[in-house]
Structure 1
Amino acid sequence: MAVTEDRRFSSEIVSIDPLSLVSYTYSKNEIKLNKLEKSDKNAFYTSYLQTRDVISATIDVSRNIPDSDLKDAIEIKVYDELALDSAIEYSISYIETESKDSKNRSFNVFIIDATLIYTKLTPIKEKTRYIDYVTSAPFLIKALYRKNFIEADGTHCFVYFQKTDAFLAIYKNGEYVYSKSLHYSLKEINEKFCELIGERIDEEDFYKLLTNEGLRATNSQYQQSLMQLFGEIFLYINDVLVFTKRSYNIDFIDKIYLGSEIGTFSGIEEYGKSYLGLESYEFNFSIAINSKEWYIDQIHILMMLSAQLYIENPDDNLNFSIYKRPPPLKYRASGKFLGIMAASVIISLAYPAYQFAYHTFLSLIIVKQTSEYNELYKQTSDIRQQLSLLKTEKEKVDGLVKNETTKFEFRKKLLSEIYNKKISYPMKALMLLEIFQLSNQNGCKVEAIEFKNQQLDFFVRNKNEKKITEFIKDLTALKKYKVNTEKIIQDDKIKLYTSKISIGLSNE
C-alpha cells in the first residue's frame, strides 16, 4: 500500500488518540507503538474527533443559489434551523448528497465548536507542532472503500464501541449517509453492568471479560447480566436503524460491522442476527505485516488509511485540523512574497520609482480587501442576529393571530345564532296565527302543538270528521306549507274525531 511521494512528509504516518495521546507509527508496512516526543518531524500526523463532538444534520438549499454564495447560505440556514448560539464560533463543513428534489440541493452539514477543536488538539500540537489531518471518526470509514477492504456495493452499517464514546455510521455504495453517537460507550457499559450484578468491577478487568469470554461468560450471573445489557443495547441500535432507514429512504441494510476499541466481543454476532436481522462481520482490518502481533484500536488503522488517501489526493473539505502543516515555501504566501521581494530588488535597481509605486498599490489592495472582509463578517453576524430576532417576533405574532382567530370565530358563531333567532321566531309566530285562524273557521279545536325537527305537529279535535278534512284542505290550499296527516281517528267515549297534522314550510 504505497503512498504517493510528497516531499513535505517522510514515509512515516503517525496516528494519535486525542484523549490518551497513545500513538502508532506506520512505516514500511509495519505498525509500532510511538512516542510523540521522539517522532520524525516530517512524519504525517493524523488524529480524529469523537462522534459526540460533532453536530450533524441534513439541510436543503435552493438550486437558484449560485456556488459563490452557497457557503453563506448554508451557514445562515444552519444557524436558523439548528438554533445555534451566534455568540459561539463554529467550524462548519458540508458535503452535497444525492437529491431527487428539482428545486433544492441537499447537504450533509457538520458543525463543531471551534473552542472544542482547540481544546482537543492543542495537547497534540504541543508535542508535534503540526497535525496534518483531523476528521470525525465516522468519516474515517470511507478509507475502507477507497482502499478496497470493503466492496462499495450495497448499504453497510458500522457500530464501534470506544471507551468514552460509541458511534453508528451508515454508508451506501461507499458514500457517507448518516452517523450518530450512541449512548453506550465502554465505560457506560461497565457502569450498567456493575449496577446489574451489584458489585464494582475494575474497568480493565471488565474489558478482559468482554474480549476473553464475551457474552458466553462462564460465570452464570455475569452471563445473564451481559445478555440483558446487550439486549438493551441492540434494541437501542435497532431503533436508530429504523429511524435512519425511514429518514433516508433506505430499503435494506446488507451488512453490519461490529467492533470496539478493546477488541471483538465473543458472541456479539448472535445479537446482530437476533435483534437486527443482519449478518454480522468483525470490524477488524489488517494493513501491516505485523498486525497480528497485538490488537490495535481500529480507529488507528482507519486514520492510517485515511492519511494515505490524503497524501495521494489532498482534500481539506472534512479536515478539521487547526494546526495544518504549511505547504512548501514556494506555495506559501510568505514564499511568494519573498520571491516578489527578490524580483523587486532586482527590478528596483533599474526602476526604483516603478517599484515604490507598485508596492504602494499592493498595500492599498491589502487594506481594501481587509476592510471588505471585516465589513462582510460584521454584516453576516448582524444578519444572523436579525434572523434570530425575527424568528422570536414571528412566534409572538403567530400567538396573537391564533388568539384573535379564536375570538373572531366565537363572535361569528354568536352573531349567526342571534340572526337565526330573529328570523326564526317571528316566522313561527306568523305560522301559528294563520293556522289558528283556519282552525277557528272550521270549528276545529287544537289540543296540543309539538315543535320537532323544523316541523309543527298539531293535534286537532272536532265532532264532525268533515270539519277536520276541510281544515286540512284549507291548509293545503295555502301552498305555503308541507302538510302531512295520519288517519282521522274516532273516540267513541267522548264522541269526537281526532287527527295529528304535521306542518312544515313549503319549498314553493
Structure 2
Amino acid sequence: EVELNIKASDFNFNYGFQSNDVFIEQMHALMHIYTTLPLSEKYETNFTVFHRPPQFSKRESGKLLIVIAASIAIAFAYPITYWILTYAQTLQYNLLSQEYAEIHNIKITREATIKNKEADKEKALALLNKEKDEYTDKKNTLIKIHDVKANYPMKAKLLSTLTKDLNEYEVRLEALSYNEKESIKELTLNLVSENDKKITKLVEHLTKAHQGVFRFSLHEISYEEESKKYFGKLKVELL
C-alpha cells in the first residue's frame, strides 16, 4: 500500500493458533500452514516476470563448457597416464639399477674371493704334491734300507745254506741272479753236474728241508755233449 499507493486490506487473518496474546508474524503462520499441505498440492510460486534461468548443465552454454571440459580431460588423460606410467617405469628402473649395482659389487667381490681361494688351493695342492713326492722318496729310501738290512742277510744265509747242500750233492753253481717283481722275490741258480740225478736229488732235498720258507722249481735239465755235463736252472721263490 505504501510502495504502490494502492489501498489494501489489513493482512491479518486468524489461523487458529493459540498465541496467548503473543504476536505471531504472518509469514511465520503462512510457512507453518504450507508445511501442513500434502505434497501434491504444493507448487512453486514465482511472482516475478524474470524467470530463474535453468540449471547450468541444461543451458546451451553449460553443455558447451561441459563438452569442452570433457574433451580437455580426455585429451590430457592419455599423456597424463603415459607420464604416470613412464614415471613408474623410471622409478622401477632406478630401483633395479641400484639393486643391480649392489648385486654386481657382491658378485665381483665373491669372484675375487673365489679366485683367491682357488689360488690358495693351487698352492696347497702344489705343496701337498711336493710333500707326497718327498714322502714317496723317503718311503722308497726306507724300503731300500729295510731290504738292505733284512733281505741281504737273508740272502747271504740262503746262499750259505745252498752252498752246503750243493757241495753235499756235488753240484756246482755256474751263475746266480736275483729278481724282484712286485711282491715276488726270486733267485735263479744255474746248476752244473756230471750226473742229472744229483741235480734232481738236490732239488728234492731242498724242497723237503725248506718247505714253507722257499718254493723250488726246476724247469729243465739239459746235457752238453762237448763238456759231458748236465745243466739245470733252479728257481727259488722266497715265501
Bigger RCO of structures 1 and 2 (CA < 8 A, at least 6 apart) = 1
User: Which structure: larger Rg?
Assistant: 2
Larger helix proportion of the pair: 2
Larger strand proportion of the pair: 1
